[in-house]
Amino acid sequence: MMVEEQRWRAVQDRTRTADGAFVYAVRTTQIYCRPSCPSRKPLRGNVEFFVLPEAAERAGYRACLRCPRMARPLWVLWPRGSAPAPSICSASSSVISAFRRANMPMLAGSPG
């Protein structure tokens, strides 16, 4: 797991490989972004980090309009060694993402 200073460096450098590992949220704008977002760089004191976009949303932040919805693949929800085939989970994630893009949140809820 990345520590805060590593996360901050990834935001400053717009490190694409950090996308999916965490999101950062800006208190003054109430927006969260992926590390590689091309938006204006925030002041460090206004930033807080979240492992999942959903956690940022629960904390009252909304997604950046420049960043695509950052959903984790479904296979990370299963215990190690018991996950269904990644291709099935990838397809399910694609369907959920399509519903979200179509603005159909009640159909895009997490399976389970």
Catalytic residue ranges? 33
Q: What is the CA radius of gyration of the chain?
A: 15
- Residue 76 gets which letter from DSSP? G
| DSSP state for residue 22 in the 8-state scheme | B
Helices (H) and strands (E) in the chain, counts: 3, 4
